[in-house]
Chain A
Amino acid sequence: MSNPETRDWSAVVEDGVTKTNEPVSSAVADPEAATRRHEPHEPPREHLPERLYEKREFVHNKRIDGPFRRFKWFVMIVTLAIYYVTPWIRWDRGPYAPDQAVLVDLAHRRFYMFGIEIWPHEFYFVAGLLIMAGIGLFLVTSAVGRAWCGYACPQTVWTDLFQHVDRFVDGDRNARRRLDNAPWTWGKVFRRAFKWTIYLLIGLVTGGAWILYFADAPTLLRDFFSGEAAPIAYITVAVLTLTTVTLGGFMREQVCIYMCPWPRIQTAMLDEKSLIVTYKDWRGEPRGSVKKARRNPGQFGDCIDCTQCVQVCPTGIDIREGPQIGCITCALCIDACDRVMKDIGRPRGLIDYATLEDCEREAAGEAPRSPWRTLLRPRTVAYFLIWGGIGGALLFALGVRSHTELTVAPDRNPPYMLLSDGSVRNSYTLKLRNMESRPRRMEIALEGLPGAVMWTDAIGKNDAAASQTVTVPADLVRQVRAYVALPAGAKAQAFIFRLTSLDEQNESDEVTTRFDAPEEQ
């Protein structure tokens, strides 16, 4: 390889590809530089050995401290706290409903979230939340890039946790690499057994907390350890322990690079106005050590090729190759580079959060724009309005929904029934829905059917009347067989069943249905 110090830096054209080692912005002069995988001074490759499979290089990332690392700690603590504490929050709903604040009660098909209770037929609220989550990710991506990947994604949080375990048991990057390559001594066996036991415990606690969302947490925890919980609880914990240890303990960045669809989607959503973690190559290139730079002033960029940014990266990439699918924008490389720049007395931000447009301006020597200009752009605002609109609509629907509902299914076989005194009876299956967590008395009344009387399977024909009062148990649907009779000579006609709750809410629901009668009468 030619000595970079004696090389001619002017542009060359090889195989139709323009190559240059001039320090230029990746955004302006040479867009390909942003994704170039070979070093600028290497000649373009003519031939590659054909490889069918790629050996995995295990990532041992180095410890780093800095503002972004501290932010990552903060997000990790907050997200894990939410995950572990939520099932233990109590919420008083009276004697007829569970007192767990967040509970997915699959057995009874109810979803409780603080003051909100969702029934299966209201699943559109959950669908709405999922749509909000989707558009929320669009919003976050268009505003701050892949922030979800870098800080909040469970895969990121748990990978981070497992990497801290590695560091705690085996030491920092170099010690771990040494141990990986060391022969299997008893010491190594012991260390690995110790580490994998911690992995297993983390997995167990992860899976164990998951099931607490699906049943009363204190009861389930007691049953779980006394061996009385349902088999599905143990199976779920076993599966989640396995997936946590596999995905967080061993697969790690491979999940992000090969398995997860989200990086692909986000890659398509990023544009030159999106915030990304990027290496300012016009400032860094060509790379050279502090010593070389001192000997040849003006010849070298700010990057001293110390590879700290590569060593701290949890996915093991080189950010200097440009934006890439393996970059989860956790910004640890910014912390590492800023620290080095401070040590050698150069300005921070050689690797920094920036948009490609800002890079262009900065490379051209313009003043940087305020972060608000980056956030408040039409696309971000549009996403926010859509996201907020859906949220507002959901809240509105939640506020105005009725807790009393009626459905009516008239018998079709037979449609009407002639009784021995010549009167005509129709039968209906009514479903009275009481969505309050207390038993309620409700009145079923007939409207628009003069002379009609009604009785039910529980209220005998002797008590037949134009309206009946029944008690609907707390938080349940009560099915009632209603018989409606008209005296002899009845005609087929439409009428209304009205259900009214006999309490201060006075909620009401009505259903128009049909009374059938023989034609020839």
Chain B
Amino acid sequence: MMANEHPGKRIDQPTGTETVGHEWDGIEELNTPLPRWWLYTFYLTIVFAVGYVIAYPAWPMFDRATAGMLGWTSRGQLAKEMKGAEEAHAGVREQLARIPIERLGEDSALMQQAVAGGAAAFRVNCVQCHGSGAAGSQELGYPNLNDDDWLWGGDLKAIHYTLTHGIRQAGDDATRTSVMPAFQGAFDAAQLDGLVDHVLSLSGKAAGNATGAQLFADNCAACHGAQGGGNRQLGAPALDDAIWLRGSSRDAIKHQILDPRMGMMPKWEGRLDPVTIKMLAAYVHSLGGGEDFVEIAENPEVEVDEQP
């Protein structure tokens, strides 16, 4: 009967084996029997499949698959692995929790760990304003964190304080805050031009202007300093350097005098755990402009808590 279905089926004399009956360009296939253990291997895979279906989620139902006896889920496995990773970090986190932020720089190994952890936290929480390379934005007034110019201080403790309490954060008494008054209507056009000339001259970008110098001394020097060196207590930017938070064009400076824009940064205390904030401080400090902390607490147990 089979022979009728495959008329080409014949015995291959040299090997004494029957062919399967197909023929392609003169090439035929021998119908060599499979070894029986191969069949048993196949049965074994069926047994395995049955066991798998019982033990693991396998059978699709209306809204989810069957759960399986072992209760395994990919989410559960992820949660377990994440927990394992967290536990692996536990030692470092505990050390970071204990060490006062101003002493972190002394422990280079711990500092390295903190910088790595801070880099990860920075990418989640900070890049929205400061950018992925922490270069900020002159247009939007987000400070560049890579340079050596700091509004509120660039040592570990100062950065940590800024991170903890934020800048001009409503509802936090300890937040860093200051207000630059708007000078809209205070100067006529010539006075304003003179003032801009003087501000630019502080960093050597323009020739001096006597009117401007007088106006600066009367209105601006209280916060920005007589020579425009700025004041970190008040977050008053230095005007005598090459770095301009909101641009060094005449228009940008005029705009900032008449209708100043002042940056705001949320406080991270309460949103992030203290250790993560420490790691962020370490990361920002490591970006290339970090300053050394000058006064180190004698006893690490004593909190130095006044606003740095």
Interface on A for B, CB 8 Å cutoff? 15, 17, 32, 35-38, 44-48, 50-56, 251, 254, 258, 411-414, 417-422, 425, 427, 457-458, 481, 483, 488
Show 16 A/B contacts (Cβ-Cβ < 8 Å), sorted by A. Answer: A15-B13, A36-B16, A37-B14, A37-B16, A48-B11, A53-B33, A53-B36, A54-B36, A258-B35, A258-B38, A413-B132, A413-B135, A420-B147, A421-B242, A422-B242, A488-B242
* Contact (Cβ within 8 A) B13 A52: no
- The answer to whether the Cβ of B177 comes within 8 Å of any Cβ in the partner chain is no
CA distance A406 to B159 in the complex (A): 34
| B36 CB contacts on chain A under 8 angstroms | 53-56
- The answer to whether the Cβ of B34 comes within 8 Å of any Cβ in the partner chain is yes
Of all chain B residues, which has the CB nearest A47? B11
- The answer to whether the Cβ of B15 comes within 8 Å of any Cβ in the partner chain is yes
* Contact (Cβ within 8 A) A53 B146: no
Of all chain B residues, which has the CB nearest A15? B13
Chain B nearest CB, measured from A458 CB (Å):
8
Q: Which of B2, B14, B17, B35 contacts A32 (CB 8 A)?
A: B14
| A413 CB contacts on chain B under 8 angstroms | 131-133, 135
- The answer to whether the Cβ of B276 comes within 8 Å of any Cβ in the partner chain is no
Q: Which of B15, B34, B147, B238 contacts A35 (CB 8 A)?
A: B15
- The answer to whether the Cβ of B288 comes within 8 Å of any Cβ in the partner chain is yes
* Contact (Cβ within 8 A) A420 B33: no
CA distance A15 to B13 in the complex (A): 9
CA distance A421 to B148 in the complex (A): 9
Q: Nearest 7 pairs between A and B by C-beta?
A: A413-B133, A420-B241, A414-B135, A37-B16, A422-B242, A54-B33, A32-B14
- The answer to whether the Cβ of B129 comes within 8 Å of any Cβ in the partner chain is no
CA distance A417 to B37 in the complex (A): 71
| A53 CB contacts on chain B under 8 angstroms | 33-36, 38-39
By secondary structure, the B interface counts as loop
A414-B13 contact given A52-B33, A254-B35, CB 8 Å threshold: no
* Contact (Cβ within 8 A) B288 A483: yes
Of all chain A residues, which has the CB nearest B11? A45
Per the 8 Å Cβ criterion, residues 284-308 of B in contact with A are: 286, 288-289
- The answer to whether the Cβ of B193 comes within 8 Å of any Cβ in the partner chain is no
A420-B133 contact given A17-B13, A47-B11, A52-B34, CB 8 Å threshold: no
CA distance A488 to B135 in the complex (A): 19
* Contact (Cβ within 8 A) B33 A45: no
CA distance A108 to B302 in the complex (A): 42
Q: A45-B11, A54-B36, A417-B146 are in contact. List 9 more A-B contacts (CB 8 A).
A: A36-B13, A37-B15, A48-B17, A53-B34, A413-B132, A413-B133, A414-B146, A417-B135, A417-B144
Per the 8 Å Cβ criterion, residues 196-213 of B in contact with A are: none
Chain B nearest CB, measured from A471 CB (Å):
14
Per the 8 Å Cβ criterion, residues 19-67 of B in contact with A are: 31, 33-39
Interface on B for A, CB 8 Å cutoff? 2, 11, 13-18, 31, 33-39, 108, 131-133, 135, 144, 146-149, 238, 241-243, 286, 288-289
| B16 CB contacts on chain A under 8 angstroms | 36-38, 45, 48
CA distance A310 to B128 in the complex (A): 80
Chain B nearest CB, measured from A102 CB (Å):
32
| A38 CB contacts on chain B under 8 angstroms | 16
CA distance A428 to B166 in the complex (A): 31
From B14, B15, B31, B148, residue with most partner A Cβ within 10 Å: B14
* Contact (Cβ within 8 A) A420 B288: no
Chain A nearest CB, measured from B149 CB (Å):
4
CA distance A53 to B38 in the complex (A): 9
CA distance A309 to B132 in the complex (A): 77
* Contact (Cβ within 8 A) A50 B17: no
Of all chain A residues, which has the CB nearest B2? A50
Chain B nearest CB, measured from A131 CB (Å):
32
* Contact (Cβ within 8 A) B13 A427: no
* Contact (Cβ within 8 A) A418 B18: no
* Contact (Cβ within 8 A) A44 B11: yes
Chain B nearest CB, measured from A144 CB (Å):
26
* Contact (Cβ within 8 A) B11 A420: no
| B18 CB contacts on chain A under 8 angstroms | 48, 50
CA distance A35 to B31 in the complex (A): 16
* Contact (Cβ within 8 A) B147 A417: yes
CA distance A46 to B11 in the complex (A): 7
